[in-house]
Structure 1
Amino acid sequence: MMLTRRIMLAGMAVFAARAVLAAPALRLLMVRRRGCVYCAQWDREIAPVYAEHPEGKAAPLMVVDRDGPYPDGLALARRPWLTPTFILLSGGAEVTRFEGYPGAEKFFPVLRDMLALAR
């Protein structure tokens, strides 16, 4: 009986660990293009602090050029044409996006609203 209980508990622990690992991870995809002045502004104002910000930790950044290549398996609502475009991904699927750079004061509040949609 004791051995059976241990096996059941071990099985439940493995199941719980797999469920956590299988949960779709959030990522922020930044689509940019060479020569984009707003992308360069974002690089100066946000890039140095992004990874340390709570929102940056919740949705690690992935950067791609507007013309690709894009990571395999992405499910986007439509192809981005304006740069920068920020697309919140959950498990590779688009949750929401915003196009353009709203400035340093508004960037993280907008991203916070996007993250709230993913929960």
Structure 2
Amino acid sequence: MNPLRNLIASVGLILAGSPLWAADLVMVEQPGCEWCALWNKEIGEIYPLSTEGRFAPLKRVDLRAIPEDLDLNRKVIFTPTFLIVEDGREVGRIEGYPGEHFFWPVLEKMLIEKTDYRPPGPSSS
């Protein structure tokens, strides 16, 4: 077997044993939204570094430009609205942003209930 085929086969085996990160967190926002700005200030920079952010990467969408192929459970009216999306379909929703102490536990609970997300457990060492 040539080296390139070996590499491709190895990557395939690694990926086969890895979870697929099929979920996204879609933030629906609009210019001038003060709650969106507060989320950006309190969470925006750290979200991609969090376990939740690595599992469900953030995608931003303008309220007036929601993609037509995004399968929503109902129309988005408020900003920010956070949609948990799998395979282009909404599976969960958080409307509004009342602060980081509310956001993190609600997001974690929804990811656990609506996706195959499992938060890291306590260290066993």
Bin of the TM-score, shorter chain as denominator length: 0.7 to 0.9
Q: Does 1:39 align with 2:36?
A: yes
Aligned length: 104
**Ranges of 4+ aligned residues in structure 1 off by more than 3 Å:** none
Q: TM-score with structure 1 length normalisation?
A: 0.77
Q: Does 1:109 align with 2:123?
A: no
In the alignment, is the contact (CA less than 8 A) between 2:21 and 2:55 conserved in 1?
no
Match of 1:31, SS state, is: strand
- Cα distance per residue 1:34-93 (max 9 Å; x no partner): 1110000001000010000111111000000000042x5311111201000000001111
The one-letter code sitting in structure 1 at the alignment partner of 2:49 is: E
Which stretches in structure 1 are left out of the alignment for 5+ residues?
1-9
Q: Does 1:95 align with 2:74?
A: no
**Structure with more helix by fraction:** 1
Q: TM-score with structure 2 length normalisation?
A: 0.73
In the alignment, is the contact (CA less than 8 A) between 1:51 and 1:57 conserved in 2?
yes
Q: 1:93/1:99 Cα in 2 relative to 1: closer, same or farther (>3 Å)? A: same
Q: Does 1:56 align with 2:53?
A: yes
CA root-mean-square deviation: 2.3
> Structure 1 residue 24: deviation in Å?
7.0
